[in-house]
Structure 1
Amino acid sequence: MSNSAASAILTTTDLSEAMRAVRVLLGVADASRAEVDFEAVISSRDTLARVRRILPGLEWWALAGKEHGSSETGEDAADHLPIRVSDWGRPLDRAEPFVAALGPDSAAVRWDLESWLAVPEAGLEAISQKYAYLTLTVNSRDLYQDEPSPDHTVHVHVRDRNGDQTARAHWLADRVGGRFTGRVETAPL
């Protein structure tokens, strides 16, 4: 198992601005075989119903721990709120409906990219799929929904052979009108 460095490059209270930034970043990556992963903390029956329409097979477990209820037991998730949910390897077209379904609940949506493309004019080499990710945290400042907040943060995961992830983070931030502040979280892959 390896880790990724997730650099925060844009934080905004405007969810549509965050999604616009994600679309721009997908445009400067090779997303030809990209997939999307989802993690969230769901607190209400309404949100759970909306999310299940988009991701009907998601896994869940009680926030208090699996021993208090989980999808493994066949119980009704709505009886165990708040819950954590996850779903992996979904098509890109699931991301925006999922984000729209969340309401005030927090989540992390991660796009597993084929690569970050080379940018010769900026001196940036291509970064392989192993280190090319993009995460949007919704109603949370961190990747794990431990810091609920009224805003949303776009994180880029970058690492190259030369170890110059900072230059790539700055370049990507410039594309979306953001700013790399140096805030980086470690994300297990």
Structure 2
Amino acid sequence: MSNSAAAAVLTTAELAEAIRAVRALLDIADVGQGEVDFEAVIRSRDVLAQVRHVLPDLEWWASAGKEYGSSEAGDNPADCLPIRVFDWGRPLDLAEPFIAALGSDAGAVRWDLDAWPAVPEAGLEAISQKYAYLTLTVNSRDLYQNDPSQDHTIHVHARDRDGDQISPVHWLAGQVGGQFTGWVESAYL
């Protein structure tokens, strides 16, 4: 398992603005074999029902710990709220329905991309699939839903915090009217 540095490039109170920015970044990326991963903290039965409509075979466990309930054990998630969702390797077209299903609960969608392309005019080399990720945190500013908020943050991943590896972050942020804020989190991939 490796890590990347997830750099915050845009925070907005408007979910529609965040989704437009994600779409613009996805238009830049190579997404041919892309997939999405989902994380969330689901607190209400209504949100759970909406999320299960999108992901009927949802992978989850009780926030208090797996011993208090999990999909692995065949427990009913509605009896174990709040629950943490960790669902991986889903088709790209499930991202926006999942985001809509979250309502006011906190979550994150990570797009696992094939690559960020080279941008010769900006002096940027292509970034391979190993570090080509984009995350939208919904109702949370951090990747792991530990900092709930009423806004949404886009994170562009890079290899590390040093040197040229963060350069693509600046360019990508500029493509959506954002800017690298200096806020970087370690992302476990």
Class of the TM-score when normalised by the shorter of the 2 chains:
over 0.9
Moved over 3 A (4+): none
Structure 1 CA distance for aligned equivalents of residues 99 and 145 of structure 2: 14
Aligned to 2:123: 123
**What are structure 1's unaligned runs of at least 5 residues?**
none
* Per-residue deviation, 1:43: 0.5
1:155 pairs with 2:151: no
Aligned to 1:181: 181
Structure 1 CA distance for aligned equivalents of residues 93 and 163 of structure 2: 32
* Per-residue deviation, 1:163: 4.2
1:119 corresponds to which letter in structure 2?
V
Calculate the aligned-residue CA RMSD, in Å: 1.2
Q: When the two structures are superposed, what TM-score results if normalisation uses the length of structure 1?
A: 0.97
* Per-residue deviation, 1:165: 2.5
Structure 2 CA distance for aligned equivalents of residues 150 and 38 of structure 1: 19
Q: When the two structures are superposed, what TM-score results if normalisation uses the length of structure 2?
A: 0.97
1:94 corresponds to which letter in structure 2?
L
% identity of equivalent residues: 73
Look up the SS of the partner of 1:21 in the other structure.
helix
* CA deviation profile, 1:116-143 (whole Å, cap 9, x unmatched): 0000000000000000000000000100
* Per-residue deviation, 1:172: 0.6
Instruction: Kindly indicate whether the alpha-carbon contact (under 8 Å) linking 1:7 and 1:156 is maintained by their aligned counterparts in 2.
Output: yes
After superposition, where does 1:133-172 map in structure 2 within 5 Å?
A: 133-159=133-159, 163-172=163-172
Structure 1 CA distance for aligned equivalents of residues 105 and 47 of structure 2: 8
Look up the SS of the partner of 1:64 in the other structure.
coil
- The number of equivalent residue pairs is 188
After superposition, where does 1:29-44 map in structure 2 within 5 Å?
A: 29-44=29-44
